[in-house]
Amino acid sequence: MLRLRTTLRESFPAALDALDDLAAPDALELLATAPDPASAARLSRARIRGALTRARRRHPDQRAATVQAALRGEHLGQPPEVAGAYAAVVGSLTAVITALNTQIKTMEAQVVA
């Protein structure tokens, strides 16, 4: 999580403003779909609302508008090669965190059983 937060701080700080809990399923889904400012700015409100709804967030319509506005705001400008490298790092980190979250849920179910 610290690596993801640091990478976003260096390359895509608007994501940190838009997504308050980076470990949450909606944040991971959106970052996996749009790991860089250019692709995040193209996310539709319906796509964002869908991620929020699947994560069972309250007030998904209102929250989707807020997230979309933050993602479409002013961003750091990076050369395409650098932006691509950061996007690859964000994508790989979100995949690892998603896999870890799945394994944690599996272990939790075993402990409860």
Give 20-59 pLDDT, tens digit per residue: 899 999 999 999 999 999 999 999 999 999 999 998 888 9
The whole-model pTM stands at: 0.82
Residue with tokens 């929250």: 63
Domain count, the chain: 1
Give buried/exposed letters for 66-93 (b at 16+ CB in 10 A, else e). ebbeebeeebeebeeeebeebbebbbeb
What is the domain extent for residue 88?
A: 2-112
CA dihedral (18, 23, 24, 29) positive or negative: positive
